[in-house]
Copies of this chain bind each other. A is one copy, B any other.
Amino acid sequence: MQNYFLVLSYNGTHFNGWQAQGKASLRTVQEVLENTVNSLNIFCSPVKITASGRTDAGVHALNQVCSFAAQTTVPPEKLADCFNAKLPPDVRVQKSGLAPENFDACRSAKQKTYVYSLYVSERENPLKEEYCVKILAAPDLDAMRSAAEILTGEHDFKAFCASNSSAKTTVRTIYSIKILQEPTFTGEEMRVYVTGNGFLYNMVRTLVGTLLDVGFHKKSLQDVEYALTSGDRSSVGKTMPAKGLCLYSVEYKN
């Protein structure tokens, strides 16, 4: 058996997230990928694919990293085209190759960056709606950046995590939160890039909801500090829609 890695992009719109649910009615990236790969008859035994982490229903990925153990005569770097030939158009392998023996896309991950996309408009823009969330007014970016500074670092993010999370600890480290205004040909978009060593269920979407509350002066910086110290779920902003979220990159040691 050899160990392989994949870098995947997917449009999450028509996926019920990453993780296989074992229900035919719930189309997931993992199931589509494993079923496709195993239908190719290039592996000696069925392949099971591990991702850097689950993405929720509707969340996109630009560079999701996966690993799997398998035996095949197909050259490692050719697996990408081999898989792509059979994959549906909303998921694509950007790169494939051999991974070190002990590489596990989930356990070996050192940090991840998610990006959340927003645009200010009175009315929806059909060219943005698939990956970008409309807000009605421009938030106070300085206030948002001050709140982002408070959230950066090692904290107990219990308040920012869905109540049904099964995580053993709710302590995580956020290395950076960057809030940028980026011009695009369909009009300006606001991007929130969050880099951390790991994220709880719904954490990035709740962080962005909280930052927006600060940006619209519905919450103060003290409220953000209170959310971190109290762990009080009712003190944070709303969980923003999945479609605005995209797994941007996963970093590994070396």
Chain A interface bracket (under 10, 10 to 19, 20 to 34, 35 or more): 20 to 34
By a CB distance below 8 angstroms, the chain B residues around A185 are 62, 115, 117, 182, 191, 246, 248
**Which of B92, B126, B187 is within 8 Å of A90, CB to CB?**
B126
By a CB distance below 8 angstroms, the chain B residues around A246 are 127, 185
Total identical chains:
2
By a CB distance below 8 angstroms, the chain B residues around A73 are none
Evaluate contact between B248 and A123: CB separation under 8 angstroms.
Answer: no
Chain A positions near chain B (C-beta within 8 angstroms): 9-11, 60, 62, 80-81, 84, 89-94, 115, 117, 123-127, 129-131, 182-187, 191, 246, 248
- A8 CB to nearest chain B CB (Å): 9
- A243 CB to nearest chain B CB (Å): 12
Evaluate contact between B127 and A62: CB separation under 8 angstroms.
Answer: yes
Evaluate contact between B248 and A126: CB separation under 8 angstroms.
Answer: no
Expressed in whole angstroms, the Cα–Cα distance for A186 and B185 within the complex equals: 14
